[in-house]
Structure 1
Amino acid sequence: MDIIFNPPENSENQYIRILVDQLRERGYQIHSLDNLLSAGRTHFRSIRLVHLNWFENVDDSSFLVALRSFMRKMVVLTVIRFSGKKLVWTMHNRASHEKKLSFFSRTLTWFLIRWSDRIIIHSRQTEYLIRAQYPSATQKMVYYPHPHFIGAYQQPESKSGENGTTLSLLFTGMVKPYKNLELLIRVVSEFKDTVHLTIAGRAVNPSYEQELRWLGSAASNISLVLKFVPDEELLELISACDALVLPYDMASSLNSGTVILAFSCKKTVICPEIGTITDLGERQDLTFHYRYKNPEEHANALRQQIKKAVRLKQENPNTFTRLGQQLYNYVQAENSPEKAGDLLDGTYRLLTESKK
């Protein structure tokens, strides 16, 4: 079956590669969305289904750029809708992380929810959100856990035991304002030499990079690696830390592939109670989780969880090895890529073989 899975590849996101590989193993021919309208009538007619990821995101670097991106995406959605092709959309976030021109993203989300034949969700929080805000879309939801990354990387041996009693924390991912890194730097700097933090990832723009470098320069216990981090280097950084710290914005975040990556590498996390965390159920206690309502509460809650982690590290450094192993065992059993591939395959076939 010829389908579009967008994006079909992403060198910085193994999630895409894992799912595309699963689909190809099941006989799907994967095509790029960019060629839907430009590759000719025969190609257009051959496409049975379109699956979109993060399609609601709009570049908000300027109004004209955002408007152009929005209009292009609306044309694509309209063509998909009125050509009768089946549309599947994965809802990754509660709302767009881009705040300046969020109207465009909200509008795209509105159309995606109404025009999608199925909405893929990776957390139960997403289900509750859709039920509350878009009750008519409830029947479209298909839940499966975010696939793990076990085997996607060549994992080095953990080196966290080499840190002595110092708690070693790592933030990794695209470095953007919604990830509350300014707050993280401020809180971690209070702990002096009992905590060391590494922030690794490419900054969204040079001005934000400079802002973080200025903030980090005042703290001797913070290292900044503000660049694209290749897989091999990323895994070395993860192996050297005790835990990943991910102070996400709860107003926009639902799922986190980085949390699943941490568990896949036998690491626990310090993280707000986003959907990926609450889906753990009673296993949430294997992580350092918290909730907040405003920036002040966030700083206090994050501070308390880091204090708890410092105390556990000083009492018994092996605690983090135990927590990481238990989380690894959980995602290995519950978040298999094969399960995700089977559910996607079943969803696609149900849609394309129906008379609707």
Structure 2
Amino acid sequence: MKHIIFNPSNNPENQYISLLVNGIRRHRFYVHDLNSIFASWDHFKKIELVHLNWFENIDDSSSKKGLISYFRKMLVLRIIRLSGKKLVWTMHNRESHEKKTGKMANKITKLLVKWSDAIVIHSKMSRDLLLENHAISPDKIHHIPHPNFIGVYGSPLPKTSPISPSLKLLFVGAVKPYKNIELLIKTVGEIQGNVELLIAGKARDKAYAEHLIELAKPYPWITLRLQFIPDGLLPELIGKSDALVLPYDLGSSLNSGTVILAFSYKKTVICPNIGTLCDMEEVEEQFFGYSYQSPEEHEAVLKESILKAAALKNAQPEAIYAMGLRMQEYIDHTHGQHEAANKLVNLYQGLLQN
């Protein structure tokens, strides 16, 4: 049995981790968390490979915490490098979402790119960015589709005929500034009469939650549930919506598990053309993708996309549901849960044989 680090090895708020770790363990890999790597000398020697996710992100809640996090991660990386253990890194984002610690995150990212024996990507755009910005061999890059979440959170709600003529939009996930929540509230707030919005998820902190509540107060058609959403409630929340709206920042966002989640539960999305959607050109008519060059343009094209979806529902009440259904069928074939874990295992085995 091979001993490896997969970090994080457990995340109750992100089933992506569980899908991959459980799949890896089925192939007789003993998976440990990074925090255990220095538990003992014998344990350290057993570890043959380290796979890091979001390792470049640096805590920006305070300057002190940021510096401690940065130096600790730099030390860990150097020890992994000097020990000769195989290093794998998954590139999830274009750049770190934490603006205050962005420079430190970029330094860690450069080392991860340079020192990794393999870089896992979930979209073709990631490959282009890596080759454009770093002097690395294309052979180091391995494309593994993000696993879908079909059935992971329970069964989807049974289909019902549309009751309300209004377009019911849902934003779900961690509520953080880079996800442009303020822009979403402002945009939907200006659309009256045929659009309803629910924002559901834990806010970054109390101050940010209070800020959003104040912004949404004038708009009774916008509802905020700024708390952690248990897995068991996700099918109900998603099922009661027509579509998910995810106005991510194109400057940092690259892949989205929430987009995959929406498709897994038979819902289409309104979302910028991040890497996840750009890989789906053959079915681009089944979601509302858009691009923008500035915050002002983002507001305009987001509003245009929402109004387009609302008009479609008004003209053809079943059309948006049909889009989501076709997207579930698509990712069932292209983003298999077992396939993702199997490809990781094949990658690990290849590295450990060298």
Q: Could you state the TM-score of these two structures normalised by the residue count of structure 1?
A: 0.97
Task: Tell me the equivalent position of 1:88.
Answer: 88
Q: Is the 8 A contact 1:160 1:239 kept in 2?
A: no
Task: Tell me the equivalent position of 2:281.
Answer: 281
Report how far residue 317 of structure 1 moved.
1.4
Q: Is the 8 A contact 1:5 1:33 kept in 2?
A: yes
> Aligned partners of 1:183 and 1:161: how far apart in 2?
31
Amino acid at match of 2:74: M
> Structure 1 residues 158 and 301, CA, compared in 2 at 3 Å: closer, same or farther?
farther
Q: SS of 1:98's equivalent?
A: coil
Aligned pairs for 1:50-61 (under 5 A) are: 50-61=50-61
Report how far residue 338 of structure 1 moved.
1.3
Q: SS of 2:193's equivalent?
A: helix
Q: Could you state the TM-score of these two structures normalised by the residue count of structure 2?
A: 0.98
Q: SS of 1:192's equivalent?
A: coil
> Structure 1 residues 73 and 51, CA, compared in 2 at 3 Å: closer, same or farther?
same
> Aligned partners of 1:162 and 1:304: how far apart in 2?
22
> Aligned partners of 1:259 and 1:251: how far apart in 2?
17
Indicate yes or no: 2:314 matched with 1:314.
yes
> Structure 1 residues 75 and 160, CA, compared in 2 at 3 Å: closer, same or farther?
farther
Task: Tell me the equivalent position of 1:20.
Answer: 21
Q: SS of 2:199's equivalent?
A: strand
Indicate yes or no: 2:194 matched with 1:184.
no
**CA RMSD across the alignment:** 1.0
Report how far residue 165 of structure 1 moved.
1.0
Task: Tell me the equivalent position of 1:269.
Answer: 269
Q: SS of 1:261's equivalent?
A: helix
Q: SS of 2:79's equivalent?
A: helix
Q: Which runs of 5+ in 2 are unaligned?
A: none
Aligned pairs for 1:1-356 (under 5 A) are: 1-37=2-38, 39-158=39-158, 161-354=161-354
What does the per-residue CA deviation read over 1:69-112, in whole Å, with 9 as the maximum and x for residues that have no partner? 00111111011000000000000000000111211100110110
What does the per-residue CA deviation read over 1:129-170, in whole Å, with 9 as the maximum and x for residues that have no partner? 011111324321000110000121212324664442110000
Identity of aligned residues (%): 48
Q: SS of 2:136's equivalent?
A: helix
> Structure 1 residues 158 and 300, CA, compared in 2 at 3 Å: closer, same or farther?
farther
Aligned length: 353
> Aligned partners of 1:157 and 1:64: how far apart in 2?
46
Deviates more, 1:236-245 or 1:183-192: 183-192
Q: Is the 8 A contact 2:93 2:255 kept in 1?
A: yes
Q: Which stretches of structure 1, 4 residues or more, deviate above 4 A after TM superposition?
A: none
Report how far residue 34 of structure 1 moved.
0.4
> Aligned partners of 2:190 and 2:37: how far apart in 1?
53
Q: Is the 8 A contact 2:157 2:235 kept in 1?
A: no
Deviates more, 1:268-277 or 1:95-104: 95-104
Q: Which runs of 5+ in 1 are unaligned?
A: none
> Aligned partners of 2:174 and 2:254: how far apart in 1?
16
